[in-house]
Each structure stands twice: as structure tokens, then as C-alpha cells.
Chain A
């Protein structure tokens, strides 16, 4: 079953579009079987181009791509059978019924009708769409449409599932339930690669993270290793009483940001515990403490676009989209 091979192996992948835009500049990437992998990067970094090449919708310029050891040029039917893709845009027939969309996709993979119907029921039930099976897909809400695309991508039970921003534009409740579902199928053995703008999503779900910027991979390591690179974090502390002056905390940079709150910068090697003794001595009672920003988000901003202020703003805007 080619379990000795990486789930995805990309070597020297380049892509130059007809208009001359160099989308990928020699990408090397291995994703191991069973991994839950995040590919992060600002808009235009090359994430969707990589996914397009793996799913054969984009033609690569040079390099090689293999899925579980099957080269996409030489063994494309075998490589395609192992891949399920959930694209960013809704790309199913809006006039077809939910059940038919999933069963038809199974047919394109050569699954007999009976098996296709059983699988369609299985995944539509798991994604809470079974009661919508007879509805035309255009009648579904945005979140339901996204779940339909996941059911469609899973119906041939691929060993590698690639999701291009699967939770973009869905509400928090649905996002959490999709996370739950993805964790479940990953635990059952499906290798998952996702691209996302929600860095909290990558931090929460993925064991490995690669950061792509301007067509090249700039970081590729475990989520823990990546977060360990953070050299400082900013915490916001709320107090019970109003503050008349900025609290004095030796060794920490502190800034008053409101009548009942202040920020404190905790650098690598410093402990949060050391904050509370001097605060108590100064008669300041802490009611809550929170990280000012998502940790990965801070790291991401420092890693993409060279870290300049203006470029960070660009990346931030993209993250906000």
C-alpha cells in the first residue's frame, strides 16, 4: 500500500504562469502518512497553486509530485485515487441534488452505484447533511455547501485529504464542528493538509506547519518547534481596581492601556508566575489575563514578507480577510 512513501512528496516544484508570474520557485515538501499538516502563507504566496498541481488542475513547469509514491505524471490514476481535494470556491452544479453530487463524484472514481450510495449516506450523515439529501445544492447555506464539498472529496475515501481554506466564511460553531470532524478522520488514518488564514486553526489542529511566502517554503517544522521560536509574548492583564499609575514590574516592559488594564511583555525565559508577587505587593488584584494576539499569528507576521512594518500591515490585512 506504499505506506513507506510520504503521503505527499514535492521536489523542486516550479510554476510560471503564461503571463510570466512565477508562482512557485522550487518548492520541496514532504508530508508523512497520518500527518495533520498546515500550509500557511499570505494571499498569492503559492498555496492554491501547489494544491492545483497536486489535483492536476494546474500544470507544473518543472519538478515532481508524488502521492504515496505515485508520480502524478506517470501514475496519475493511482495518484488521483489517493487524493481528495476540497477547493476554496464552491464548484458543484448548483442545480443538482446534494445526494446526486456525492454519488456522481464516486462514479467518476469507478465506485459501483451501491457502494457510492452507501458512502454518500455515510458522509452526508457524518456532516449533518443527510436531511438535505434531496435539496438542490443552491438552496444550502454557505456552511452546508462547504460541508457538501468535504463529503464529495471523501466519498472515494482518499488517504490524503487536501483542504483549501475549509473554514473560510463559516461561523464559529460550524468551524469547531468541522475541526472535530477533521480530527476524527485524521485519527482514523487520513493524512490531512490544509491551508488557512485562521492561524488559530493551524495551531489547534496541525502537528506540522510549513510557511510559504512568494513561492518558496520559508519554514517547515512541527507546530511546537515553530512556536518555540517566539522570543516574546504580550499579555493583557485586567485589574479589579482602577489603576492610577503603571505597575512597577522589574525586568518586564509594562504599558498602561486603560483604567483597569495594562500590557506586559514576557520574554523567552521569563515566567508569568514572577508577575503576581510584585503586583500583590502593590495592592493590585488581577481579575483576568490573556494573550494579546494569537501566538502563531505574531510569528507568522515576523516570518513572511521580510518582517518590515509595511509588509506586516499587508499580511495583517490579508489575515483579516
Chain B
């Protein structure tokens, strides 16, 4: 395929993915907005004032970046895992597999679909947060870069999960037993400096901690970890996941018999 043809194939796949989640916006965009709004109400407005300040900010100000990242992570992952596995389950992934579309275009198309949904939900949640607190972005570039890299990372992870999945249970196991604990223990609701030293060190093994803190640094200017380290970790994990996903597509794992 020429570069132009590859571009057309990429745009076709990406537009199809975006149309998929916007067509069912009641299932893809509305629920996370309601869920996160409830977090704002419960943790920010009702419980927050009793907690007091955290890292020098009101609890509402502190928790907003974490909740935006929570929405971005779950929606980027969820979009790709459900779309790719759905296509695999229904058989229409074969439309792509029999075409000359290269594997890296297939991967990029699905990932960009996931990134678009992650960022769309992140934007909606950010708008909702303005009803509860004021946001003053401290480092615009860091904020944007972290949120994009995070959504790429979890979109790639979603695709890998979908490749391995053999039934619908398999696509809910990772979000329930891996993603949710990592996210909730990744500094979304608290600063790791509150933890005993041992658990602070254990928390450093959690990749979500780096993303949430780097994003919080972009918005509030404070972080529990070094922002440079966060970018290094994000880039490394993305590279690792990308090559692993390419390897799976090349070998046709669970896709070609």
C-alpha cells in the first residue's frame, strides 16, 4: 500500500471507531460523566471539607486531577478492549485482516479511537469539575502531554487485553481486578506522602501513580514524584506495549488460526 492508501485506511478505521462510541453516547460518554460528577459531590463537596487540605490545596482541588485521569484511563482502555473484542467476537475483524492494511495502521486506528474517547470523556469531566472548583493550569504542556500519553498507554493495554480475551468475562477481569485497584491506589484520592514509608515504596511500583501525579503537577504544580521520571516511565511502557501489540498482531494471536 502506498502511504496515501495507508493514510486512507487509518482514517477509515479511526473515523469508524469514533462514530462507534459517539453513536452510543448514552453508554460511552454519559455514564462516566455521571459517575465522576457523583465523586465530585461526595468526595469534594460532602466529605472533602471534613478532610481539610491536602498538599496545600482543598480536597476538591486535589482530587479533580485524579478523577479526570480516572475517567481518561478507564475510558481509553474500555473503548479499545470492547471495540476490538466485539469485532473479534462478531467476526467483522476479518474485514480488516483480509485487507492489505498493515498491522501498525490497525493498531494506530484502534488506539487513536481509544485516545479520542478518553480525551472526550476527560474534557467532559473537566467541564463538570468547573461547577465545583476553579482550575488554574500551572503547566499546560505537561498537562496535555501526560493526558495524551496516558490514554495511548491504556488504549494499547486495552487492545492487548482484547487480543488475549476469549470471552466477555476475559475483558472484564483486567478492568475489575487490575485496573481499578491500580487506579484507586495510584494517588487519585490521596497523596502517597500520607502512607507509611513501606507502602510509599510499594506505591512506586504502580504506574498509575506516575500518571496521576504528573497530571496533578500540570494542573496544580504539585506532585509526589519526579515529573521527568513519570514521562520516562510513560514512554517506556508505551514503547513496550506497542511492540508487544505489534508482535501479537503479526503472529495473529487468537486472530488467525
Contact = CB atoms under 8 A, between A and B. Distances in A.
B100 A76 contact: yes
A91 to B, nearest CB: 4
B256 to A, nearest CB: 6
A47 interface: no
Interface residues of B, number: 27
Interface stretch (A101-109, A216-224, A311-319): A101-109
B11 A52 contact: no
A145 B102 CA distance: 28
Contacts of A177: none
A77 interface: yes
Nearest to A108: B99
Interface in A201-251: none
Contacts of A178: none
A9 interface: no
Residue among B4, B92, B97, B98 with most chain A CB within 10 A: B98
Given A77-B1, A104-B16, A110 B94 contact: no
Nearest to B255: A57
A107 B105 CA distance: 12
A282 interface: no
Residue among B1, B6, B90, B99 with most chain A CB within 10 A: B99
Nearest to A112: B8
Interface in A175-197: none
Contact of B13 (A52, A57, A80, A108): A108
Contact of B257 (A57, A78, A81, A83): A57
B5 interface: yes
Contacts of A89: 91
B99 A105 contact: yes
Contact of A107 (B12, B92, B102): B12
Nearest to B101: A108
A129 to B, nearest CB: 17
Interface string B232-257: 00000000000000000000100011
B219 interface: no
Main SS class of interface, A: loop
Contact of B100 (A80, A94, A104): A80
B95 interface: yes
Nearest to A90: B91
A252 interface: no
Given A58-B257, A104-B12, A112-B8, A93 B92 contact: yes
A93 B96 CA distance: 12
How many chain A residues sit at the interface, stated as a range, is 20 to 34
Given A56-B97, A56-B256, A58-B256, A110 B90 contact: no
B257 A107 contact: no
A110 B8 contact: yes
B13 A59 contact: no
A85 interface: yes
A127 interface: no
Interface in B1-53: 1-2, 4-6, 8-9, 11-13, 16
A152 B91 CA distance: 15
A77 B100 contact: yes
A152 B98 CA distance: 12
Interface in B65-99: 87, 90-92, 94-99
Interface in A53-67: 55-59
Contacts of B252: 59
A7 B72 CA distance: 49
B94 A107 contact: no
Contact of A94 (B2, B90, B94, B95): B90
A212 to B, nearest CB: 18
A58 B257 CA distance: 5
A45 B90 CA distance: 25
Interface in A72-100: 76-78, 80-81, 83, 85, 87, 89-94
A81 to B, nearest CB: 6
Nearest to B96: A108
Given A56-B256, A59-B252, A92 B95 contact: yes
B92 A108 contact: no
Residue among A52, A56, A87, A113 with most chain B CB within 10 A: A56
B106 to A, nearest CB: 9
Interface string A106-145: 0111111100000000000000000000000000000000
B5 A57 contact: no
Interface of B: 1-2, 4-6, 8-9, 11-13, 16, 87, 90-92, 94-102, 252, 256-257
10 contacts: A52-B257, A83-B98, A90-B91, A91-B91, A92-B95, A107-B13, A108-B99, A110-B1, A110-B8, A152-B95
Interface of A: 17, 52, 55-59, 76-78, 80-81, 83, 85, 87, 89-94, 104-105, 107-113, 152
